Structure 1
């Protein structure tokens, strides 16, 4: 199954994901609408539960060092790999 992160990594981008239903941890979160201009968030709309905005990145609250290199600034939101296409 394809995740929304897979679409972000694809050369076609998220266009092919538009209008498709996605789930997060087994629960449908809605059809992918797209990114809101200037918000850096992905928008999903569910016919019953309403709208869900998912940020593309997460801030690093504390300094983290990996292999001697400090990671600064935002990192890709790890939840994007768990948002899976249903249809």
Structure 2
């Protein structure tokens, strides 16, 4: 059993209104050393696979088909043994 951790973020070319709102709120709280904020999502998948490569393949397919919008988002997959 493997755990896939998927980090999905908006592409750099896509405006991030949630990130911008969070950045302004952080500035209002006095955290003025922060230059920018980008908000994404973290997804964890428990995958029953024979090896790490197969688990990565399954996670990548899940991202491509459902979990990430590849027009607007990038994703990064980390596989670990569960």
| TM-score band w.r.t. shorter chain | under 0.3
Pair member with larger Rg? 2
In proportion to residue count, which structure has more helix?
2
In proportion to residue count, which structure has more strand?
1
TM-score, scaled to structure 2: 0.26
TM-score, scaled to structure 1: 0.25
Q: Which has the higher contact order (CA 8 A, sep 6+)?
A: 2
